Each structure stands twice: as structure tokens, then as C-alpha cells.
Structure 1
Amino acid sequence: MLMAVSGFLMLATIMYFLFRGRTIPVVVFITVPVLAAFLAGFSVEEVVSFIQFGIKKTSKMAVLFIFSVTFFGIMSDAGMFDGLVNKLVSKAGTNVVAVAVATAIIGIFSHLDGATVTTVLVTVPAMLPVYQKLNIRPHLLLLIVGCGMGVMNLLPWGGPVARAAVVLGTDPTTLWRHMIPLQIMGIFATLGLAVVMAIHEKKYHNAGRIDLVVNEASGELEAKAENEEALKLKRYDRTWVNLGMTVILLGVLLADIFPTYFTFMIGVCAALLVNYPDVQEQKRRMKAHAPAALDVASVMLAAGIMVGILGKSGMLEAMTVPLLEVIPGPIAHFLHIIMGIIALPLGTMLGTDSYFYGLLPLAIKVGENYGITGLTMAIAMTVGKNLSLLISPLVPATYLGIGLTNIELKDHIRYSFFGLWAVGLIMFAFAWVIGMF
């Protein structure tokens, strides 16, 4: 009982501080879980082992973030995206809706490999300059990418589906076949969300207004002059070389030839040597991107402490038991409906492993006592969890996304939460209408 109370207090405290912005995530993720572990009665040695476990799980990802953020930062300095940005802006003009729909399509197709980090790395650096040019808040970019990612992660090789299949003791492809109609509906819902939110951004936040100044001598509109220092860093004569390097890097990532973090380490070296052969300029480029890179990595390492304590202490299992036991009998008959509706909020707070290996088996066990099949429960709980991927503080790609767009975690969650939940509920309602429940 003490472990369950400690766990609930820990999650409530963490979410309070994150949403209220009382302190930075690093402080919350390090101090609160450690205090909760001691409150639950664990010894110093046990807490240390939990911390080591968690750090081990996230350290490679932290290295990946340092070098991936630095790589795309260097490419942006060199002007690799400038040509693409100008072409997209000229095609779309000030059509914010067209840009949002294009983002949704790119996000959906780029997640065919099921890798969340790769999807963020493919879509965000390429589209972010377009959003900046059109004065669209980057929050919309992350929302659309996260939604497309969540829908496409229902594929058999997606991590959540694979985990749910393990719990059910079935093949992931078999589980996916049941969810194909939901995935199709999710794609349309993602496009719809992009349109609605783009109209909202245009109406209430001046999206689509390109910053222009009037040339008093000629009376013509001219784009604001770029910073002279930034112009000195541009390497437009090497744009195709940089694009080639980026394509090769992404190809190596998709082929899974080397560890992801090592691929980006090599990528940073190549980017520096090709664009800035001068040693002093190489040092300046690394220092310029160090704050963003280290900020993302430090949060990831700190989150590892929370993941380790939740995953290794047994605290999560202790928390789920009373949650399911307090459900009254009449309501328990609709447990799959309840779990499906609250799947996204739960998925935001719980890690993927904790959710599918901790909560889902218990929910299935309870549901079977009331005539709810394991397959029904798994489908109901998987949809919402998938859509929470890019707003969960426990998912590494979340920190990569907010790091690349320079958005606060709490602001990102506030902006995206209800839009993603709405898409999840639409998919859930559709499943109900076609008789899946």
C-alpha cells in the first residue's frame, strides 16, 4: 500500500510541477522520484540500483539527442533548408491550411518505419523553417507530426502493437488486421485536425503573415534582411552536398546499420569538415548549438531516473492494483470503454513498457471476469496510448521534438493534448459504431 501511495504522490507531484511551470523538468525528474522511492521504504542501495537501471536505458538516447540536434543545427546554419523553404513558401503562399495538410501527409508517410525519433528528425527540421517563414507557431507542427505518428504506429512493427500482441499471446499482424479500419479513420482524422488547427492559427495568431518591410525608395515590399553574421555562415554552394549527406545519414538510420547515436556522431563530423573546415569556426558551431543539445540530453537523463524507479521498484504494479479493484461491478462491465476513453491521459503519464506490460495485463484480467475479451481491451487501450507518444514526458522523441522547436514541455502538452485526445476519441467512437466493441 505504501508503494502505491508513494507512486501516486510521485506522478501527481511531477505532473503538477510540469504543468504549472514551477521549475525545470530536470529538477522534477531527479528529485521527486528519488524522494518517492525513499518514502516507499527502499534503501540507498536499492534506489541507486534503480537509478543506474534508468540511466542505462536513456544514456544512449541522450548522446543521440546531443549529436542529432547539433547536426541539424549545423545544416540549418549552412542554409541547407533555405531552398526548400523558399520553394514551399512560394507554392503555398500564405496558405496555412495547405502547409498543415502537407505536414500531416509527410508525418504519416515518414512514420512507415515505426521509429518515433527518426520521424521527428525527418519532418521537424525540414518543415520548421516553413512555419517560421509563415509565422505559424511550431506547436502546430509538433501536434500534427505527433498525430500522424500515433496513427501510423498502429502498424505491426510499431512498438505498442508489438507489446500488446505479446500480452495477448498473438501475432502483431493479426492484431493489426483488426485495427486497419481504425487506422484509416485515424488518417482522415489527422488531416481534419490539421485543417481545423491551421484555421485556428490563422484566425487567432496571425499565421500566414510573412514579415515584410516597405522599401521607401521604391515602394516595393522586401523581405527583412537577414543577420549579417548568419549570412556569413551560409554555404549555398554546398547545398546539394549537404542534402546528399543528410539523405545518406537518414538511409543509414532506416537501414539500422550502426547505432543511431553513432550515425549522428559521424554526421556531425562530416557536416563540420565539409562546411566549416576552419578549426575556430568548428568550435564556434559546436558552442552555438551546445545549449539546445545539452538541454535536451539533460532532461532525457533525468527522466531516466523516473523510468528506473517506476520500472524496477514494483511501484507501478502496486499503483495499478488499487486502481482496478475500486471499480464498482456495474461499471466494470464497461471497463474497456472507460480504459479506451482515458487511454491517452494514462498513456501520457505512463511509459510504453509500464502501460502495456503493467497496466494492460491487469485490465485484461479484470475485464475477463465481466465478459470483456482480451482482444477488445487491447484494442481499446492501444489507440489512445499511441496518440500520446509525442506528448508523454516518458517518450524520448518528445524531448527531441521540443528541443528542435525550442518549445517548453508544458506548453507543448497544453497545446497538443486535447487535439490528440479528440482524434483518439473519434477513432474509438468509430470502432464502437462498426461493432468492434
Structure 2
Amino acid sequence: MRFLGGFIMLLALAGFIMLFAMMYFLFKSKTIPLVVFITIPFIAAILAGFSFPEIVTFVKKGVGKTSEMAVLFIFSVTFFGLMSDAGMFDVIVDKLVKKAGTNVIAVAVVTAIVAIFSHLDGATVTTVLVTVPALLPLYKKLNIRPQLLLMIVGAGMGVMNLLPWGGPVARAATVLGMNPNDLWHIMIPIQILGVVTTIGLAIFGAMREVKFNGAGILEKSSPEFEIEEGTHISQKKEDELKRPKLTAFNMLLTLGVLVLLLINTFPPYFVFMIGCAIALVVNYPNPKDQKNRLKAHAPAALDVSSVMLGAGVMVGILGNSGMLEAMTIPLLKVIPAFIASQLHILMGVLSLPLGLVLGTDSYFYGLMPLAIEVGKNFEITPLSMAVAMTIGKNLSLFISPLVPATFLGIGLAGIELKDHIKYSFVGLFSVSLIMMAFALSIKMF
């Protein structure tokens, strides 16, 4: 019995060392996540005394859980990349910007719609590049602070990241060991409310800009900020990849893909496989062009999917070695009883502040599994903990200094990081709390 207790302590120690080492390397950007997820858990398993055959068994189980998610990422990123190449998003953005005109509230609402729609691919950089350059001249012309533009974009991205091919939901599903599409179906009501709340935030922010910052008073025209018939897209030479005559078809194809995901008849990765095949054949019938399009999107597709497969090593070792269970023992002794039963709500409220200082991978693959395991001891279901922790983390996406797209956004907008966070924090935090409160009201937790 004493030997068993000693082994559990060894497992717990190895687990905590692994967790802190992973967070350190990820937080300090000492190396890429793929290397961290493969090497550190492997070393921790060896230190805990497991044999190579046992470690191989852990890894096989873990990678088996993440492989479908990796395939989903490859084809979803490629599909929406193809839609972007063909110019589907450009047409929508141009028309929305023309509709907004010089009405400050309309401009803010259009910003929210564009951010929400353009984040269908789950790629933060794409969303920033579609929204900020297109709308920034209009914001400057109307004397609207660019901080509002970034806050609305951040809310739109955070809400849309609840899609099954969004990184956070896929990671949470991996930790839960469930299909990301099934997790999304559960969270659809929260996402719908999030979309409405984002538009509400845009309206409130616009009204505040009008009242306190004199927004709506047109600046003197200058070549730099003159708003023409179209946006920055129409001012550039038409790219040879654009397929304006196929815009209607591409919209219908995208709608069909989304409907199939909602119906949930086929695995999500297969839906995107079919979508990619159709998009390639119709938009780029030349085999050479098809290969070039796949090569163009391969870096983005493989970047996330390789991390997902690498995370399978960590998930397998942490979940199958007994480390996770052993790590909860010391934590149970220090958590006050009055907090324990509401731990998932506390973690949900703190998820946005935590998301600022923890990278996405360390948050979902490090903190979330531990919180889930602790919550089990207080009759908190893994699903409740995961949903609560996912909501706020998504909203922290575009104000986190650990996200490269944050620096791209503030660079394009010409503002300081501290000013961006100071302006956006309360608004994004409010959206996350409203979504949390709604989840509680419909007894999702």
C-alpha cells in the first residue's frame, strides 16, 4: 500500500513537472507547440517509470483521438481558403461597406457582420486582413477610433471560433474525447446569442463614439482616406485567382457545407473533403491550378493539424498513464469546499483573463484537463467544465499578446497594444459573461 501511494505521488510529480514545463516553453515561445507536445510528455512518462511498450500504447490511444480533428482542420482550412481565393468574401465585404455609407452605427454593425462572416474559416489572420484594411479608411474618415474596429472584430472572431473547425472547440473536443461537431451542436444556442451580443456591442460602441468622441463628423478628404465606390479590394488589380462569375455558386456550396454540418449525417471532415473537391473542380478545372491551390494552403492547414496530432501524444500519456488522476489529489486538499461545487462557473468567469496570459494550447491541453479532473470529484461533468472554459477563452483571442494576429491587427490599425487591451477588455469580458449567464439560464451547466 505504501508502494502504491509512493507511485501515485511520483505520477503526480511527473504530471505537474510536465504541465509546468509545457506552459513554460509555450509561454516563452522557446520552441513550437509540436515539439513541446511530443517531447515533454514522452520524457515525463519515462521519468514516471513507464516502459517503452506502455508509452507506445498511450501514444496510440491519444493520436487515435486527435487524428479525425487533424483531418478536419486540413480540409476546412483548405475549403475556406479556396473560397477566399475565388473572391467570395471580397464581394460580400464590398457590398456591405457600400450599404453602411457614413452612418456610424451602420458602419459598426457592418464591421460585426463582416468579422463574423469572414471568420468562417477559423483563421484569425485572414479575418484581420479582410476586415481591418477594408474598414479602417471609413473609420478614420468618420472620426471613429480604430480601437472600436478591433474590439468588434475580436468579438466576432471569438463568437465564430465556437464552430467545430475552430481551434478552441476542436481542442476542447479532443480533451473530452468527443466529436467536435457534436460539441458545436450543444453550443449553438450560446453561439447564436454571441452573434446577437456582438452586434449589440457594436451598436453600443458606436453610440459611445458618437457621444464622447464626436464620431460621424467627416474629416477633410485626403487621397489616403477617400472612400471610393468600392473598397481596397476593387482598387487593386483583379487577381487572376478570382472567379466573380462563380460567386453565387460558391455561396451555395458554402451554404450546403454548413447545412450538412448542421444535419450531422456525415463526419465533418468528410463534408469538407467533398466541399474541397467540388470547389477545386469548379473554380480551378486545370489540374496544375488545383495543385497550386493545395500547395498555397498547405502551410496553414498543416500548421494546426500537425499540432493536433502532436497533442495526441500529450493527451494519450496524460490521460492513460494515471497522471491526471494523481495530480487531482493534492489539488482537492487545497480547494475550499464552498468554491468546489461551483468550480466550473468560476473557471468560466476567469477564462477570459486566463486566456490573456495562457496560450491556446497550454490552456486547453494543460489547464482544462486538470480542471475537468478536479471537477469530477465535485460532480461537475467534463462537458460543463469544458463549455464554461471555452466561452471566455474564445473572447480573449484578439486581445492576447500571445496571439500573432493581435499584433497584425494593432499594426494595421496603428495603435498600441495597451490601448487596444484597455479599450476592448471590458466589452469582450461583458460578451463572455452574457454568454455564460445564458448558458446557466438554459441549464447547460
User: Are 2:32 and 1:17 equivalent residues in the alignment?
Assistant: no
- Structure 2 CA distance for aligned equivalents of residues 183 and 63 of structure 1: 24
1:246-395 equivalence runs, <5 A: 246-327=254-335, 331-336=336-341, 340-343=345-348, 344-345=350-351, 349-350=363-364, 354=369, 358-364=373-379, 384-388=388-392, 390=394
For residues 269-321 of structure 1, what are the alpha-carbon distances to aligned partners after superposition, in whole Å with 9 as ceiling and x for unaligned?
11111111112111111111111111121111111212212221221111112
State whether residues 151 and 428 of structure 2, in contact with CA within 8 Å, keep that contact through their aligned partners in structure 1: no
Give the TM-score, by structure 2 length.
0.64
Partner of 1:171 in structure 2?
none
What are the within-5 Å matches in structure 2 for residues 167-182 of structure 1?
none
Secondary structure of the equivalent of 1:214?
coil
Structure 2: segments with no counterpart, 5+ residues: 1-8, 137-145, 164-170, 177-185, 213-217, 398-402, 410-416, 441-445
Structure 1 match to 2:141: none
Aligned length: 367
After superposition, residues 228-247 of structure 1 pair within 5 angstroms as 228=237, 231-247=239-255
Q: Distance in 2 between matches of 1:9 and 1:418?
A: 34
> 2:333 is matched by which residue type in structure 1?
E
1:57-78 CA-partner distances (Å, limit 9, x unpaired): 1111111111111111111111
The verdict on how the C-alpha distance between 1:184 and 1:79 changes in structure 2, with shifts beyond 3 A counting, is closer
Q: Structure 2 vs 1, CA of residues 199 and 302 (structure 1 numbering), >3 Å: closer, same or farther?
A: farther
For the 8 Å contact 1:310–1:316, the answer to whether it is kept is yes
- Aligned counterparts of 1:430 and 1:238: Cα–Cα separation in 2: 40
Q: Does 1:97 align with 2:112?
A: no
The Cα of 1:384 is off from its aligned counterpart by 3.5
- Correspondence 1:53-68 to 2 at 5 A: 53-68=61-76
Q: 1:132 offset after TM fit, Å?
A: 4.4
Task: Calculate percent identity across the aligned residue pairs.
Answer: 45
Aligned to 2:400: none
Unaligned 5+ runs, structure 1: 108-118, 152-158, 165-174, 204-208, 365-373, 394-400, 433-437
| 8 Å Cα contact 2:343-2:375 kept in structure 1 | no
CA contact (8 A) 1:8 1:319 kept: yes
Q: Does 1:146 align with 2:150?
A: no
Alpha-carbon separation, structure 2, partners of 1:383 and 1:257: 23
User: Does the 8 A contact of 1:30 with 1:303 survive in 2?
Assistant: yes
Query: How is 1:388-403 mapped onto 2 (pairs within 5 angstroms)?
Result: 388=392, 390=394
Quick check: 1:133 aligned with 2:134?
Answer: yes
Q: What aligned pairs does 1:161-200 form with structure 2 within 5 A after superposition? A: none
Q: Distance in 2 between matches of 1:186 and 1:263?
A: 25
**How far 1:184 sits from its partner (Å)?**
11
Task: Quickly say closer, same or farther: Cα 1:59–1:183, change in 2 above 3 A.
Answer: closer
Structure 1 residues 236, 266: CA separation in 2 closer, same or farther (over 3 Å shift)? Answer: same
Aligned 8 A contact 1:252 1:258 in 2: yes
Is the contact between residue 78 and residue 275 of structure 1 (CA under 8 Å) also seen in structure 2?
yes
Note if contact 1:150-1:389 (Cα within 8 Å) is conserved in structure 2. Answer: no
Q: Secondary structure at the match of 1:22?
A: coil
Residues in 2 aligned to 1:222 and 1:18: alpha-carbon distance in whole angstroms:
42
**Which whole-Å deviations, capped at 9, do the CAs of 1:330-378 have from their partners, x for residues lacking one?**
x4334345663344458973569946862222134xxxxxxxxx79x99
- In 2, the alpha carbon distance for the partners of 1:264 and 1:378 equals 26
| CA deviation after TM superposition for structure 1 residue 262, in Å | 1.4
Distance (Å, rounded) in 1 between the aligned partners of 2:227 and 2:108: 30
Residue number in structure 2 paired with 1:113: none
CA displacement, residues 158-187 of structure 1 (integer Å, 9 cap, x when unaligned): x99xx99xxxxxxxxxx99xxx9x999988
Distance 1:334 1:48 in 2: 38
Deviation at residue 226 of structure 1 after TM alignment:
6.0
Residues in 1 aligned to 2:155 and 2:332: alpha-carbon distance in whole angstroms: 31
Per-residue CA deviations over 1:9-45 (Å, capped at 9, x if unaligned) read 2222222222222221111111122222222222211
Q: Which amino acid aligns with 2:16?
A: F
User: Residues 14 and 28 of structure 1 are in contact (CA less than 8 Å); yes or no, is this contact kept in structure 2?
Assistant: yes
Tell me by how many angstroms 1:144 deviates. Answer: 3.6
